[in-house]
């Protein structure tokens, strides 16, 4: 069954535009280059550079042409250093370098842990008779259980295309849960499946999303640089949107840095005007009003649903309290406390398997390069993850990167790094925090046309 509910004010999309964010970014890149901005696609920032006094000096790009064995190949090219008086880090959610900076400068001291969701998305071309450009559909509830946070979006774009996706909160408890399988099962609901009958799936992708809200935003500035966009975490979770707040943070940082440059301030100092101005902007007010909605679901679906209505309608986001967040990886329970989930097999028409999905992500990695999904301790995946949690990395990864195989000496973890769509879920949800996502060779990863 499906029950139609009144649209929450945060989800009112009248007057908004439905766009491909990838296409918007490409268009913005063209505008920036026309103004003289230099953009270096295909080069990945792999290292933060520091001055002797500890302030940020810039970044270094990764070496190209390193083999899987760590040796230089014939076409080896060393990375280059890029120095700047101020370096703004806009890596997106769970940025590799941003994590290092938070630890280096203690940027998370006094704030809650960041929490996340995994968003899985497909682009479809559907029957023109079922398409209505501008239509927006959101759902919550099924197929999630009452303890697990999740919801969907369905956007009718132009040219008979529909973007459909499902977000699962990564604070889920059951190690047998698979966000990918939950998304595929979601599409089989009679109300949703009707849109896609006779249609064709065009593209697939996945990405982690910040869900911590205001109380999880770290200190934004540090000597020689700052965090902007989803590197810091400005997503408005009830809206399921963060592009507007991310762009505003970048604009605010740019204005503050521009003024700082004109003051001939010594290199390596901190642009404190950026966080001060952002806290005075509409971004902070918007996030303050919704700060309690996502964490209210820690008590379950119905508790969160009821509290969210009270907070939105009666309290108007001005409650004199703030709910706290916890690390997502700590929420996972041992397999002995949970029941396995029996997911239906894909039908190849509405629901699909991982391999065919990854193919549509057009992900590409040079085979002969060091694996960018590293393990702090190679023994942990079997000794702890498999024994205690039944290898949850096989299920939380939406691209089939992690696989338990039978080796000569027993079970082994096989990492199919070439499948990786760079969603960062493994870096977040691994219960032992043993998996570390690092930057692969430049130009590696998924290619998302119209996504």
Tens of pLDDT along 298-325? 999 999 999 999 999 999 999 999 999 9
Q: Is the pLDDT of residue 401 over 90?
A: yes
Secondary structure (3-state) at 381: helix
Domains of the chain in start order, with CATH, are 40-112+214-289 (3.50.50.60)
The DSSP bridge pattern shows strands 56-61 and 81-83 to be antiparallel
Residue-wise pLDDT for 61-114, tens only, equals 999 999 999 999 999 999 999 999 999 999 999 999 999 999 999 999 999 999
State how far the Cα of 81 lies from the Cα of 69, in Å rounded to an integer.
24
Give the pLDDT score at 443.
82
Q: What value does the mean pLDDT take over residues 327-339?
A: 98
pTM for the complete prediction? Answer: 0.95
How much is the pLDDT for 354?
Answer: 97
Phi/psi zone of residue 338: left (φ > 0), alpha (ψ -120 to 50 degrees), beta?
beta
259 phi, psi to nearest 5 deg: -65, -40
Q: Is the confidence at residue 264, as pLDDT, over 90?
A: no
* Percent share of the chain, pLDDT over 90: 93
Tens of pLDDT, residue by residue over 405-427, are 999 999 999 999 999 999 999 99
Q: In the structure encoding, which two tokens stand for residue 71, read together? A: 């040796």
- SS3 string of 187-225? CCCHHHHHHHCCCEEEEEEEEEEECCCHHHCCCCEECCE
User: What is the C-alpha separation between 142 and 82, in angstroms, rounded?
Assistant: 48
């Amino acid at each position: 069954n499906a029950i139609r509910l009144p649209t929450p004010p945060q989800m009112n999309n009248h007057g908004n535009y439905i766009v491909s964010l990838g296409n918007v970014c490409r268009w913005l890149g063209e505008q920036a280059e026309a103004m003289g901005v230099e953009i270096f696609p295909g080069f990945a920032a792999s290292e933060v550079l520091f001055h002797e006094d500890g302030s940020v000096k810039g970044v270094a790009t990764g070496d190209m042409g390193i083999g899987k064995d760590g040796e230089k190949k014939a076409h080896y090219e060393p990375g280059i250093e890029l120095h700047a008086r101020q370096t703004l880090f806009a890596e997106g959610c769970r940025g590799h370098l941003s994590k290092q900076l938070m630890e280096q400068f203690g940027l998370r001291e006094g704030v809650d842990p960041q929490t996340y969701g995994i968003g899985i998305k497909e682009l479809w071309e559907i029957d023109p008779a079922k398409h209505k450009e501008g239509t927006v559909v959101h759902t919550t509830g099924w197929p999630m259980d009452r303890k697990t946070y999740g919801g969907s979006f369905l956007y009718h774009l132009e040219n008979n295309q529909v973007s459909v996706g499902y977000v699962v909160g990564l604070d889920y408890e059951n190690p047998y849960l698979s966000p990918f399988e939950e998304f595929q099962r979601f599409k089989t609901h009679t109300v949703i499946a009707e849109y896609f009958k006779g249609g064709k799936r065009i593209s697939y992708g996945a990405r982690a999303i910040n869900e911590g809200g205001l109380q999880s935003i770290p200190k934004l500035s540090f000597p020689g640089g700052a965090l902007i966009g989803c590197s810091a975490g400005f997503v408005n979770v009830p809206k399921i949107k963060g592009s507007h707040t991310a762009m505003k943070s970048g604009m605010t940082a740019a204005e503050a840095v521009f003024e700082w440059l004109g003051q001939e301030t010594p290199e390596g100092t901190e642009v404190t005007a950026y966080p001060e101005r952002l806290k005075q902007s509409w971004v902070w007010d918007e996030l303050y009003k919704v700060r309690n909605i996502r964490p209210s679901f820690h008590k379950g679906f119905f508790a969160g649903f009821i509290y969210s209505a009270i907070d939105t309608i009666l309290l108007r986001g001005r409650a004199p309290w703030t709910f706290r967040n916890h690390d997502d990886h700590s929420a996972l329970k041992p397999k002995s406390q949970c029941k396995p989930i029996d997911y239906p097999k894909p039908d190849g028409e509405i629901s699909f398997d991982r391999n065919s999905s990854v193919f549509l992500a057009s992900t590409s990695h040079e085979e002969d390069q060091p694996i960018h999904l590293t393990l702090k301790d190679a023994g942990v995946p079997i000794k702890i993850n498999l024994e205690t949690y039944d290898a949850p990395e096989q299920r939380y990864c939406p691209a089939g990167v992690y696989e338990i195989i039978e080796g000569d000496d027993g079970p082994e973890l096989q990492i199919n790094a070439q499948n990786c769509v760079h969603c960062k879920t493994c870096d977040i949800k691994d219960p032992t925090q043993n998996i570390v996502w690092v930057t692969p060779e430049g130009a590696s990863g998924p290619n998302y046309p119209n996504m």
